[in-house]
Structures are given as C-alpha cells and as structure tokens.
C-alpha cells in the first residue's frame, strides 16, 4: 500500500461521506436494528472506534450522555467537529489516536465499531472487550469489497487485486471461538453521489495511490467523462453488504 493509514484517511476525508439526517440512510437503518435489540444509548457513555466523519457519532450524540469519537485522522475529526457544531452538539470528545494507543480507565456503556480496520488484529478485538461494560455493536464487511461504478473500472484497468473484505465473518468466528453469543443481521447499503470533477479526481487518485498506482491524468479525465450527467456533475453509484453483530459483555450479562 502506498500511503500509511493516517495519511490515507486524511486524504480521504475531503470526499468521505458525511452525516445526513435522512432517516432512510444506511446509518439510520442500522441504528434502528440496534435499538430493536435493546441497545438504547439515552443517557449513556458511548465510544465510537474509527468514527471517521461521524455518520454514526452525530446520531448517537443526539441522545447519549457523552460520545468519545476516536479516529486516526485529524482531518476526519475536524469535519466531525464542524458538523457537530452545526447540529448544536457539545457532548462529543474528539480523540485522534490509533486504537491500540487509546486507553481509558473507565469502560463505556456502549462501544461501536463500524466499518473500521482498527479491529483486524487479535489484540484489537480483545481491546474492545476491556473498554465495554455493556454492549458492543460491530458492523463489518460481509465478504466482498464495496462496489463502485467509478472505481471498479479503474481497479480492473490497473489490475488491482483487492483483499477480501470479510471483517464480519472473521468477527463471527472470533466470537464463536470465545463462546460469546451475539445477534447477527445482514445489512445492505448504497448511495449515489454527484461529484464535481475536482473532487472525483481527488477521490480516484487517493484510492489508486493506496495501491501504489499513479494514474495518467489524461486517461483518468477521459475515463470519468462517461459518468458526467446533464448537469455537468459526475455520478458515482456505490453499494455494499455488511454484517451487524451485537453482544453483551460478560459484566453486563
């Protein structure tokens, strides 16, 4: 991979999806299922591991007592803080750190880990248990990469072999080995984004650079023209499948 994780996510922050109040959004749908399983964050402390731009953070902070937003990217956190201010939310703590470098004496009532690479290792998974005194909510990829109408063609052109995106199945196996019972639900999401040309170029270059590829500018600009709509914007359709896992920690059972 071309860039270290912090640099990569700082670059991605510019075009990364942000919070939306839309109740039909993927995040709203996921949190409805979470609520149906008895996980109610009202008045509780929440840790959002790998919070990114805060698509979940801002929803949780609307009813939680406090939310600690942890991410490796200070650019992501800057965007989150800006959006939180726009929502009038002041109960969010922003922490820029690696998950394995983060440490708190008091555990949280709820720990959320949604689509984050922070839990890839055994130690990363173990750490979640020590920081949760109530519920853990985990969302991971269901076994294949996110599909993108724009990026899929570029990956094929540059013969990029993408690694398996199976954090969901891996977490289920890990929980099974530890004899931890959990709720499981397959989820699906998607979005269509209308980009200006500069932002879409930035997004494509960032993603390709992560695979040590420097695209030819002329080729990339020509390729992107096929996604141009009558309004002069460039449309990207994205779809993905995830797995939602919810479990109680031993201290909460």
Is 196 within a domain? no
Burial class (CB in 10 A: 0-12, 13-18, 19+), 3: middle
Tell whether 183 is covered by a domain.
Answer: yes
**For each successive 10 residues of the chain (253 residues), what is the average pLDDT?**
79 96 96 97 98 98 98 98 98 98 94 94 94 96 94 97 90 97 97 96 96 95 98 97 94 62
Q: How far apart are the first and last CA of the chain?
A: 42
What are the tens digits of pLDDT across the range 65-101?
999 999 999 999 999 999 999 999 999 999 999 999 9
Number of domains in the chain: 1
203 in a structural domain: no
For the four alpha carbons of 103, 107, 109 and 112, in that order, the dihedral sign comes to: positive
The answer to the question of residue 213 being in a domain is no
Q: What domain range is 154 assigned to?
A: 5-191+241-252
Residue 79, domain CATH: 3.40.50.150
29: tokens are 């749908």
At residue 28, the pLDDT reads 97
Q: Does the residue 132 lie in any domain?
A: yes
């Amino acid at each position: 991979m071309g860039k270290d994780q912090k640099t990569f996510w700082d670059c991605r922050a510019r075009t990364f999806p942000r919070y939306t109040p839309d109740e039909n959004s993927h995040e709203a749908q996921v949190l409805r299922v979470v609520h149906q399983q008895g996980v109610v964050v009202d008045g509780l402390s929440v840790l959002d591991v790998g919070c990114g731009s805060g698509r979940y953070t801002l929803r949780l902070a609307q009813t939680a007592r406090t939310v600690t937003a942890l991410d490796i990217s200070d650019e992501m956190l800057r965007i989150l803080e800006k959006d939180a201010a726009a929502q009038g939310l002041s109960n969010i703590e922003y922490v820029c750190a690696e998950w394995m470098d983060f440490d708190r004496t008091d555990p949280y009532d709820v720990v959320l880990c949604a689509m984050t690479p922070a839990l890839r290792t055994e130690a990363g998974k173990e750490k979640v248990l020590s920081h949760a005194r109530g519920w853990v909510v985990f969302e991971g990829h269901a076994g294949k990469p996110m599909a993108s109408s724009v990026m899929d063609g570029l990956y094929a052109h540059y013969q990029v072999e993408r690694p398996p995106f199976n954090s969901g199945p891996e977490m289920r196996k890990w929980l099974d080995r530890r004899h931890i019972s959990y709720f499981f639900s397959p989820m699906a999401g998607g979005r269509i984004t209308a980009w200006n040309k500069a932002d879409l170029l930035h997004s494509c270059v960032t993603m390709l650079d992560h695979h040590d590829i420097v695209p030819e500018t002329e080729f990339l600009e020509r390729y992107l023209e096929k996604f141009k709509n009558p309004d002069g914007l460039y449309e990207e359709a994205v779809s993905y499948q995830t797995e939602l896992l919810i479990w109680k920690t031993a201290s909460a059972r």
